[in-house]
Every structure is written in C-alpha cells, then in structure tokens.
Amino acid sequence: MNITMIGAGYVGLVSGACFADFGHIVTCVDTDEGKIARLVRGEMPIFEPGLDELVAANVREKRLAFTTALEASVPGADAVFIAVGTPSRRGDGFADLSFVYAGAQKIAACLEGFTVVINKSTVPVGAGDEVERIIRELRPDADFAVVSNPEFLREGAAIEDFKRPDRVVIGTDDPRARDVMSEIYRPLNLNQPPLLFTSRRTSELTKYAANAFLATKITFINEVADLCEKVGADVQDVARGIGLDKRIGGKFLHVGPGYGGSCFPKDTLALIKIGQDHSSPLRIVETVVAVNDARKRAMARKVIAACGGAVRGKKIGLLGLAFKPNTDDMRDAPSLAIVASLAGDGADVHAYDPESMAQARSLMPEVTFAENAYDCAAGADALVIVTEWDVFRALDLERIKGSMRAPVVVDLRNVYRPADMRKRGFAYVSVGRE
Ligand code: UDX
C-alpha cells in the first residue's frame, strides 16, 4: 500500500516508520521544514527507544521518506493518515482541531482516485464528519472515504505498542475503506490482534473513553494510597490484591505523583467538554482531573513535611523530571508543579533527568541541573524520586547517604523498599506505605 502520513510528530512518525517496516511505502509530510530537514539527515525530533534504527532501516530500504511537499505525495496514495496535534484549546479545554481541518483542506486539493483519509489524531466525536464535509465541499468530484483509527501507543513503548497492539479500532461504514484498512493492518495478523470495526463516531469516542478510564484507574489507586497512609495499610498489596481479579486487572494501578503527559491531561479535559456540550456530564472524569491536579501540589507538601515542615534554604535534589521514564516529554509532568511549589517555598532545587533536561531548562529557570544522580544528591537535605528511570532503581545508596547533608529520601514512585531503606539509615517516605 502507498501511505501518506500527514504530521511527523509522535504518532505520525512512529506510525509511519512502523507501517514502512510492515512493508508499505510511506511518505511522512510535515509543514515544519526544520523538522523534515533533520529527519532527512537521520536525526530524530523526539526521544523514543528504537525509533532512530527503525527509521534508518526503512529509509535505506526506500520504504520511508520525508517531505514538506504534500501535493507530491497525496495523489499516489491509497491511504492518507492525518496525525497532527490536537492540543487543548486555551480557555475551554476543547481539542483544537485547526491542524486537522487544515490538513483536510490540503488533502482535498490533491486527491486522485479512490483514497481513504484516516484520522489518527485524537478528535472529538463528529470531527470525522467535519473532515468529510470539508473535503466534499472543496472537491465534490473526489472519490474518498473518511475513517477514524485512533492510536493507543504509549511514549517510551510506542514501537512495541504499535506492532503488538491489544486491538486496532477502525471506524468506518464504507466497505472499500474497510478493505484498504484490513490490508494496511494485515501484517499484524501473525500477532492476531482484534481489528474492531465500528462506526466512525464510536471509534472517536472509544479513544477518549480508554484514556479517561486509565486516568481514572491511576487516580483511584492514588487516592487509596492516601488512605493507606492514614490507616497503616500498604497500597502495593492493595493494588496486587485487587489487580489479580481479572475483572479489574493489575495494570495502571501503580501509585505515583499523578498522571501527566501529552494524552491523559488533554484527553480527559476534552471528554469532559464533549460531555458538557451534549448535556451528558462525565462527573467521574471531572473528579479525576481535579484530584490529579491537586495531587501534584500535594506531593510538594509531602517533601516539605519530610524536611521537617520547611524547605527554605534547603537543597532538594529531584531525580527524574519527565512525566514518565524513557521519554524526554515534559508536558504536564508532575515535576512542574512540584518544582514550582518547592521553589516558591524557598528551596534550592537541583534536578537530574537522563533525557528531559534540555526541555526542562526553559520550563524551570529556578532549577540547578546536575550531571548525574550522585551530583544531584551531594549536599542535599532531601532526595526526591519523581520519575522511575531504570538508572534510579539501583543507586549506590551508601554513596548517596554519605554525600547528603541529611539522609532523607522521598520516593514518589515506590522504587525502594521501606524496611531496606530504614536499615540503611535513611529517613524514607514513599507513597501509600508505612
Ligand atoms: C497514554 C496511553 O497509555 C496511550 O494508550 C495513549 O495513546 C496515550 O496516552 P502515555 O501518555 O505515553 O500513553 O503514557 P502512560 O504510560 O499511559 O502513562 C501516563 C501517565 O500515567 C504517566 O504520567 C505515568 O507515570 C502515569 N501512570 C501510569 C501512573 O502513575 N501509574 C500507572 O500505573 C500507569
């Protein structure tokens, strides 16, 4: 199949590279000339494990190319994916669809022969109808079908998620489009993921419902963790105890400083807005968003409490800034709220993250950036594990303790064991455990 991918961001680049690896011929198009120039040189605009090798291999095999010239790529394509950003619109939380609709307009002008136009961007219910209307209005003669095919990949595990998905959701009522989509995903047959064919609107809502449900699961266990701390229970065991029930499932029950990232915060807000607009409010999701926002600030208070109630003039070292490991993404990272609170209370905040410091520098001007975890801990009055990068899982704790001013560790990801840490002489605070 000949595929054009509009948008060489996270979803577009990973999907484009993976489709090419399946054997399709893929052209990734982006309006950002600098980004395309970097990609042509083999430089990745994002940090995603394995992506550079996958891109290089498929460029070498001439199955993957990058261009700004949409008009050269769309006419020969069997399928054109729209994978552009849908950020939260300032003010009302509604997904900003201007990039999606601009893409639809440009595609319309270039369509030749039967073409399937697929929305991979996360869009509110009914956006596919609008894409269809835009193209139909500009090109009444064009032969096309608009399909919804949301992406469920996680940053840091995006290639694996793309190649071994739990399911592929495809929203279309058009039999020809269904055949094209089946052919595009045929290489997945070996792994036998269900291809779920449904209506376009159902597919659009499924993406939001999935992300809102996962955000709810995380927020639920985080609140249970708070209760565990009050009643002397262990949230790790509670999570395991409920997660072994197949109806609940063990995933996304890991406690932490609250969810962040490019999807959950944006998609929960957008779903709330859709519900309000249709007089069908999603009160559970509204509460999840409020609880998660409050939690990020509460984590700073946890650090302050561990420091004896005040951090003014104290050196606090943060290990990890990205919203989760294996990404350099700082979007809605809990570290942003934690740093703002600690610095606001007069702390001297130092931080180290293996990948996100370049991004973090401009977002956190008050922070001093360290060379590594040990540099970050040296002379600190408290060390806070904010993101559970592998390099923080087996630190030389003797060395850390010896270099700190006070051996206080606040572990917001429950990486270490309380009994071990106490035995080693740390004042150790974690989440939802004694
Ligand atoms: C998410 C969805 O998982 C993915 O299907 C969707 O397409 C995009 O949004 P992503 O944002 O990359 O992916 O990361 P994910 O691994 O889901 O984590 C999101 C946030 O939740 C992170 O801040 C993470 O630390 C937090 N989280 C996740 C927890 O606090 N506990 C968990 O058990 C799982």
Q: Residue 198: phi, psi to the nearest 5?
A: -150, -175
- Cα(186)–Cα(429) distance, integer angstroms: 49
Q: Which long-range contacts (CB under 8 A, 24 or more apart) does 18-23 make?
A: 18/54, 18/159, 18/162, 18/163, 19/184, 20/58, 20/61, 20/63, 20/64, 21/54, 21/57, 21/58, 21/63, 21/163, 22/184, 22/187, 22/188, 23/63, 23/187
Residue 266 scores a pLDDT above 80: yes
What does the buried/exposed string (b/e) look like for 366-381 if buried means 16 or more CB atoms within 10 Å of the residue's CB?
Answer: ebebbeebeebbbebb
Contact 5, 27 (CB under 8 A): yes
pLDDT band for position 87 (cuts 50, 70, 90): confident
**CA 154 to centroid of ligand 1, rounded, Å:** 7
Q: Which residues pair with 171 in a beta bridge?
A: 148, 198
Cα 13–Cα 19–Cα 21 angle in degrees, nearest 5:
100
Band (pLDDT 50/70/90 cuts) for residue 384 is very high
Q: What is the pLDDT of residue 434?
A: 75
Fold of 295-429: Rossmann fold (3.40.50)
Closest CA relative to residue 411, chosen from 301, 258, 302, 260: 302
* CATH among 3.40.50.720, 3.40.50.10490, 3.10.300.10, 1.20.1250.20 for 2-197: 3.40.50.720
Q: In testing the pocket of ligand 1, which one of 167, 252, 292 has its CB within 8 Å of the most ligand atoms?
A: 252
Statement: residue 345 has pLDDT above 80: yes
Residue 191 scores a pLDDT above 80: no
Q: Is the CB of 348 under 6 A from ligand 1?
A: no
From the CA of 260, how far away is ligand 1's center (Å)? 7
pLDDT score of 93: 74
Atom 9 of ligand 1, residue of closest alpha carbon: 263
Give the containing element (helix H, strand E) for 418.
helix 418-423
Percent of the chain with pLDDT over 70: 100
Which two three-digit tokens encode residue 346?
């007069």
Residue 104 CA to ligand 1 centre (angstroms):
29
How close is the Cα of 425 to the center of ligand 1, in Å? 33
Place of tokens 């001013």: 405
Phi–psi pair at 79, nearest 5 degrees: -140, 135
- Mean pLDDT (the chain) is 96
Q: For domain 208-287, is the CATH number 1.10.150.120?
A: no
Q: What is the mean pLDDT of residues 361-383?
A: 98
Q: Token pair of 293, please?
A: 């926002």
**Which residues are known to be catalytic?**
263
Tell me what the mean pLDDT of segment 48-52 comes to. Answer: 95
256 lines ligand 1 (CB under 6 A): yes
Count CB-CB contacts under 10 A for residue 97: 20
User: Which pLDDT does position 193 carry in this prediction?
Assistant: 74
Would you state the pLDDT for residue 290? 98
- In the block, tokens 């600030």 appear at 297
Give nearest CA residue, ligand 1 atom 3.
154
Beta strand pairing status for 79-82 and 368-369?
Answer: unpaired
Q: Could you give the C-alpha distances from 43 to 56, 69, 157, in angstroms and in order?
A: 9, 19, 19
| Residue-wise pLDDT tens digits, 114-165 | 999 999 998 999 999 999 999 999 999 999 999 999 999 999 999 999 999 9
d(CA 117, CA 135): 10
Average pLDDT over residues 33-47: 95
d(CA 294, CA 301): 11
Instruction: Please tell me what DSSP assigns to residue 201.
Output: H
Q: What is the mean pLDDT of residues 329-337?
A: 96
Record the tokens describing residue 55, joined without a space.
Answer: 């891109």
pLDDT tens digit sequence for 400-428: 999 999 999 999 999 999 999 999 999 99
How many percent of the chain have pLDDT more than 90? 94
